[in-house]
Structure 1
């Protein structure tokens, strides 16, 4: 009994220390010298995370809750956190509490946490929710063409998702979410057309790489960084196992990965 109590105490202490660390880190970043625009701030904040490790599955757990983890990222959580900190920094309330509110707005449908199905899992769904909340503008319908494919990867591969591999109720929620997403038009710049529209992309734009995989909308995401007239990608790289600004250009990366069909371009506002 004493051993169990000690174990629970250590877990609670660890959780509290992690929460304090994350809050302090966000508050320090919110106090960095103010940039003139959100896109400049995205680059500023993103660069502070360079070199931190890539880690997948950080949002998964026994219960669905808002997770703030800033010592390791996957591509999704890197974009979300950099964006949330940057938006909070340019808001009337540059506070940790406002950062957490924005993070919840971005991550959960209607900003309500109600089980695994309430979290936004597909990038295209995430993008449309963020645009509805006036956090960004999807430029893909202006620059690109409509994607004509069903988005149902999760329901078709439930074995890959422990949260509903054997839970039919959650599966029903996922299927319903996919049906709603199917009613929304999704656009991208096709890989072969990328060079034509590259000049329209600027530093701080979110770049999402659309997928050739059946049922999947997006493979990867990051931020565009323009240097010496060329575009590069700032992202949590699964290849390099850390947050980087790519050495290869964004176009070289797009062309090298065969499962990338094209890109979506979204501008944080």
Structure 2
């Protein structure tokens, strides 16, 4: 992963939309789509399905958003519709589904991406488990335990933001003028992290072993371990379409590279089509927004993987 944001005057919002559209190569179809479904009787899940589908096959670009032209450290656009990473894709769809009209989109995007809607690098919800999920409980509800029905576990780790800031290099500074002294700015960014203390986090998740029920009598080799499983269809059926699925890796040891360990590494949207559940997400592997069968995606991680399960957040609006 708040307090509410005051609604901007209409003219200011429309000016903001036009400005960001120009600077971020935004696709106006998405904003038009928000307006076209505004007066329908679509459920939240339906809105998530329609809006997310409109962005299919858009390219994956890591870290594609920032704080806009006024950002101190990252001047990538505040939003765009032509490229995504996993989290910005989820944020964009959520903000669109939450909006009654296109002019509502910027403030909703801002509130989802930033603590208390305050735009700055420091207040951005950088860490899914420590920031994004807890700071967005104003529009989401953790239903992991409800879906898991006793199978849920907890993934614990310590998010060390201070060490994360200190591990940053100049490539963290984005969209800045060539005349900017990046070393001085990087020193300032390192200073921004000094007030933070290590933060223990505990994220509920459903283990893959609850989704894939192993038949030990038939599983006598590593290969057959994957093949000789039954799908827990009852559990699968309890996952709502339009919910946010976060991939959980308990105490994922990446400290040597980024300064801190993690316990969530990817986000997606659950979409039900023709009675089957899919993950719709900006895939780093496939380099675009794709649909993958829910069980097909997770079956790849059953053997020798640090990915152990998934957390489920359901929109409440």
TM-score range, shorter chain: 0.7 to 0.9
Report deviation, 1:162.
3.7
Do structure 1's residue 145 and structure 2's residue 183 form an aligned pair?
no
Contact 2:161 2:193 in 1 (8 A): no
Q: Which residue of 2 aligns with 1:229?
A: 275
Q: Which residue of 2 aligns with 1:119?
A: 124
Q: 1:140 to 1:16 in 2, by over 3 A?
A: closer
Q: Secondary structure at the match of 2:308?
A: strand
- Report the Cα distance in structure 2 between the residues aligned to 1:231 and 1:19, rounded to whole angstroms: 36
- Report the Cα distance in structure 1 between the residues aligned to 2:25 and 2:157, rounded to whole angstroms: 42
1:189 alignment partner, one of 176, 190, 206: 206
Q: Which residue of 1 aligns with 2:32?
A: 28
Report deviation, 1:53.
1.0
Contact 2:267 2:281 in 1 (8 A): yes
Do structure 1's residue 211 and structure 2's residue 249 form an aligned pair?
yes
- Report the Cα distance in structure 2 between the residues aligned to 1:18 and 1:42, rounded to whole angstroms: 25
Q: 1:111 to 1:47 in 2, by over 3 A?
A: same
Report deviation, 1:199.
2.3
- Report the Cα distance in structure 2 between the residues aligned to 1:152 and 1:86, rounded to whole angstroms: 33
Give the alignment of 1:70-85 within 5 angstroms.
70-85=81-96
Q: Give CA deviations for 1:174-231 in whole Å, capped at 9, x if unaligned.
A: 465563x42x542111221235532210211111101252211212111111234332
Q: Give CA deviations for 1:92-145 in whole Å, capped at 9, x if unaligned.
A: xx232x21111111111111123x2111101122011110xx211111244322
Deviation above 6 Å: which 4+ runs of structure 1? none
Return the structure number with greater helix share: 1
- Report the Cα distance in structure 2 between the residues aligned to 1:139 and 1:82, rounded to whole angstroms: 19
TM-score computed with the length of structure 1 as normaliser: 0.78
> Could you say which structure has the larger radius of gyration?
2
Q: Give CA deviations for 1:221-251 in whole Å, capped at 9, x if unaligned.
A: 11111234332111111122111112xx212
Q: Which residue of 2 aligns with 1:251?
A: 295
Alignment gaps of 5+ in structure 1: 1-14
Q: Secondary structure at the match of 1:27?
A: helix
- Report the Cα distance in structure 1 between the residues aligned to 2:170 and 2:145, rounded to whole angstroms: 31
- Report the Cα distance in structure 2 between the residues aligned to 1:160 and 1:219, rounded to whole angstroms: 21
Do structure 1's residue 264 and structure 2's residue 268 form an aligned pair?
no
Q: Which residue of 2 aligns with 1:107?
A: 113
Q: 1:154 to 1:71 in 2, by over 3 A?
A: farther
- Report the Cα distance in structure 2 between the residues aligned to 1:242 and 1:255, rounded to whole angstroms: 21
- Report the Cα distance in structure 2 between the residues aligned to 1:161 and 1:138, rounded to whole angstroms: 36
Q: 1:224 to 1:159 in 2, by over 3 A?
A: same
Contact 1:155 1:171 in 2 (8 A): no
Do structure 1's residue 241 and structure 2's residue 252 form an aligned pair?
no
Report deviation, 1:154.
8.0
- Report the Cα distance in structure 2 between the residues aligned to 1:261 and 1:160, rounded to whole angstroms: 30
- Report the Cα distance in structure 2 between the residues aligned to 1:208 and 1:161, rounded to whole angstroms: 29
Give the alignment of 1:127-138 within 5 angstroms.
127-131=133-137, 134-138=138-142
Return the structure number with greater strand share: 2
- Report the Cα distance in structure 1 between the residues aligned to 2:188 and 2:24, rounded to whole angstroms: 35
- Indicate the RMSD between aligned Cα atoms, in angstroms: 3.0
Alignment gaps of 5+ in structure 2: 1-18, 174-181, 213-231, 254-260
